[in-house]
Chain A
Amino acid sequence: MMPAVAEERRAPRIVGVEFPFGHAFGVAHDRSTQRHVLELALRVLAGASGFGTRVDLDVEWPVPLREAYRAWQPKEPSPIVKKMLEARANAARS
């Protein structure tokens, strides 16, 4: 999901997917894409020739960005996000 971050954190083998959070292997019930991602991950695991191998999957998420962006997020903000939003609101007030 965030292959650039995995690279910075020095992961030895990386498969990049441009999918929303919570969906590493693709759309629910889409066995074809799920298989595609798992097979690619296995090929990179077994076939990478050295540290830092990164292969990105050229599959576009089939839902419009705005809708997909909203859909992956929890119904209410996580505790850390809530805390950050409150801190931001307090800073704006002061």
Chain B
Amino acid sequence: MQVDSYRFLPRSFRPLYEGRGAFPGEEHPVWAPFEKRLSASRIALLTSAGIYLKTSQPSFDLDGERERPEWGDPSWRVIPSNAKPEDFAVAHLHINDEDLLADPEIALPVGMLRRLVEEGVVGAAAERQVGVMGYQDRRLKDWRETTAPAIVGHLREQEADGLILAPA
């Protein structure tokens, strides 16, 4: 069985995604072998669902996107692994947030990762996960120059062995 990548996408949007190929300069394979056992590894999560902590963090900049529709906020948020679902808010103008607010595990499964750690399937969860907002300027300049290097630095500080990146 092969997943239909465009099943839920409006038909007129398909050409915006299909057949675009790699970004210039990113044609070559990038590969890092995973050398540890999962049960001895620390795993981090990243969601692009626009999740942030509603009482202590700023929202992603939706007004900026409304003013400049081709632009999306490239900033990122640290989400503690022990945050509760009721701590979360969602700022993402491209998806319905009802299910995300009802059960953030559909985008950022911190509780399920914790359970897998308790069962010994995974060695440890990173203490601080990563939240971004997935709608971005198509050139990804800010991402390349600022956001991605900062997130990589954060993951190294966390001594994460691997990252599960979940697009929204």
A interface, CB within 8 angstroms of B? 1-6, 8-10, 12, 16-29, 31, 34-35, 38-39, 41-43, 45-48, 50-52, 56-58, 65, 68-69, 71-75, 78-83
Contact = CB atoms under 8 A, between A and B. Distances in A.
Nearest to A10: B22
Instruction: Determine which residue in A1, A58, A79 has the highest number of CB atoms from chain B within 10 A of its CB, and name it.
Output: A79
Interface string B120-139: 01100000000000010000
Contacts, number: 164
A21 B122 contact: no
Nearest to A52: B29
Given A10-B30, A50-B31, A74-B93, A2 B166 contact: no
B168 A18 contact: no
26 contacts: A1-B168, A5-B18, A6-B167, A9-B22, A9-B26, A10-B26, A10-B29, A12-B31, A12-B32, A17-B3, A24-B167, A25-B106, A28-B102, A34-B112, A35-B115, A38-B112, A45-B38, A45-B164, A47-B34, A48-B34, A51-B30, A69-B8, A73-B96, A74-B93, A75-B96, A83-B69
Given A2-B167, A17-B3, A57-B3, A42 B122 contact: yes
Interface string B90-117: 0011111101101101110100110110
A26 B95 contact: no
Nearest to B50: A22
Contact of B121 (A1, A28, A39): A39
Interface residues of B, number: 61
Contacts of B34: 45-48
Interface in B1-29: 1-9, 17-23, 26-29
Nearest to B113: A38
Given A3-B5, A25-B112, A45-B38, 4 more contacts: A5-B18, A9-B26, A10-B28, A46-B37
Instruction: Determine which residue in B30, B107, B112, B122 has the highest number of CB atoms from chain A within 10 A of its CB, and name it.
Output: B112
A77 B124 CA distance: 40
Nearest to A49: B33
B96 A74 contact: yes
Interface string B29-72: 11110101110010100010100000000000000011001100
B81 to A, nearest CB: 14
